[in-house]
Amino acid sequence: MSETVTDSQYFTRAVSQLSPGRGMQTNRPVMGAQGIKILDKGAKITPRLYERLVQHHPTTPLDDAIDIEDSVNGKNLRAVGEELLDSNLVFSRMAEAPQDRKLLLDCLEAVPLPPAVVFQLTVVRDVHPGQFRYLVATALTAVWLGNRPLALRNDLVMLAAAGLLHDLGMMHIDPVLLEPSAAISPEQRRQLYSHPLVSVLLLERHAEYRAEMLRAIREHHEVLDGSGYPAGLAATSVGAWGRIVSLAQVVAALVRPGRSHALLRLSVLLRTNRHRYDTVLINRMLPLLQRPDDNAPEADGIDNPVADPVRHLKAIYQTLLGWPAALAQDTRWSAARRGGMVFIGERCARIHRTILESGVAPDQLQSLDADAISGLLSDELSLITRELAWQLRAVKLEARRRWNAAAHEKLPDSLAAWAHKVEAVCADLVDRTTAAAVQTEKI
């Protein structure tokens, strides 16, 4: 199964995008399906020849058999890590103490890299350099989040490996899914939801990687309220390392170069998603985001601020309270449908608690008037409003999915009315270019 995944058409397409002069050669003979030698050791490989070899379905795993010039290794990983620590405010704050900086870089450099992983990471670096930097950023964040008193060095190295390799499977699914604004078909969504499993399949044959590390990769899109993928795990079913990598990849994505107001956006996302991510880890990260940057120039406001965010927040709050909870008790419906409605009611309740904890419930905002909402407060309330609208709309979509209506079957009147209300409330707020949660949805 691992060979089938490794030789996927999408990864082959990525290899074909390497420079035609890219130095590659075989480090062993490559054997064909009937025991016939296709290539000798030391044969030169071009991207075009690699494509042709894949079509012959060799029994020798190609990624094990090919050495690539100027490949990813511990030292150049460390160099990318150093650049991130020096250039990005969040990472520089993680490494303010010299011993912390050394620990982050040492763990990154020590990640075990079998030949097949080296080959695939090198393709990621050369074809998708921004994605490669994001993987390094995730590795650094995972080590920082996992570093506690008495933490074992090998555990931190394995966390760095999980962060660095968690999205290796993304190279084996449709590359359009790497585009944040691309619309996703149902089949592409199934591919997206499978990529943590593909990453594990690519790595599990290597003895260098521990079971805990593979589990963290499998769980890097699981979240505590059960709305993640691929297994929909919830609460304590998500392991400690899975929680770390789940949060680390969100942090790394939101502080990518080019993300405006990255610290504010990430702070808002974490404060409004305590039901999804580990609270202890969130509380460790938030102080890095909320410290002022005295060296930063005066920033412009966010793009597309929400007009009258208080009014919109009140509407979101009231819509959550209006969830038709009676559906979960109505014996006209199947046990599966009633159970699904219980799940949706719990999600509504969690978002309701998030609103209270974030200080944006109607009674908490009643002292604010339009004149008081300006500058940073306006930006923050706008981002919170859009994030909560995205969460509310996601719950509506999940409610429809769990109701699982047959073709031409109408939703119950109460559920249909609630879904219509959600759309009315969120219509002008959910924007794929500004909602922080959506920006991390396809990572």
Tell me: pLDDT of 294 over 90: no
Global confidence as pTM: 0.85
Amino acid 130: pLDDT: 94
For residues 437 and 38, what is the distance between their CA atoms, to the nearest angstrom? 48
Reduced to 3 states, what is the DSSP secondary structure of residue 5?
Answer: helix
Give the pLDDT band (50/70/90) at residue 21: confident
What average pLDDT score do residues 409-418 get?
A: 95
Contacts within 8 Å (CB) and 24+ apart, 265-272: 265/383, 265/436, 266/90, 266/436, 268/380, 268/383, 268/384, 268/387, 268/436, 269/387, 269/436, 269/437, 269/440, 271/357, 271/358, 271/384, 272/354, 272/358, 272/384, 272/387, 272/388, 272/391
Amino acid 20: pLDDT: 84
Amino acid 437: pLDDT: 41
What average pLDDT score do residues 159-170 get?
A: 97
Give the pLDDT band (50/70/90) at residue 295: low
List the single range of 108-112, 160-164, 405-409, 416-420 with lowest mean pLDDT.
405-409
Tell me: pLDDT of 420 over 70: yes
List the single range of 56-65, 123-132, 153-162 with lowest mean pLDDT.
56-65
Tell me: pLDDT of 214 over 60: yes
Give the pLDDT band (50/70/90) at residue 82: very high
pLDDT: is 215 or 433 the higher one?
Answer: 215
Amino acid 299: pLDDT: 56
CA angle 50, 52, 54 (to 5 degrees): 70
Give the pLDDT band (50/70/90) at residue 368: low
List the single range of 6-20, 77-91, 193-207 with lowest mean pLDDT.
6-20
CA angle 358, 359, 365 (to 5 degrees): 145
Amino acid 370: pLDDT: 57
pLDDT, averaged across the chain:
89
Find out whether 76 and 117 touch, Cβ atoms under 8 Å.
no
Amino acid 300: pLDDT: 63
Tell me: pLDDT of 435 over 60: no
pLDDT: is 175 or 7 the higher one?
Answer: 175
What average pLDDT score do residues 405-429 get?
A: 94
**Maximum separation of any 2 CA atoms in the chain, in Å:** 79
Amino acid 440: pLDDT: 42
Tell me: pLDDT of 304 over 70: yes
Express each pLDDT in 265-285 by its tens digit. Answer: 999 999 999 999 999 999 999
Burial of 174 (C-beta count, 10 Å sphere; 0-12/13-18/19+): middle
Give the pLDDT band (50/70/90) at residue 434: very low
Give the pLDDT band (50/70/90) at residue 432: very low
Amino acid 439: pLDDT: 38
Give the pLDDT band (50/70/90) at residue 292: confident
Tell me: pLDDT of 303 over 90: no
Express each pLDDT in 24-55 by its tens digit. Answer: 999 999 998 788 899 999 999 999 999 999 88
Tell me: pLDDT of 436 over 50: no
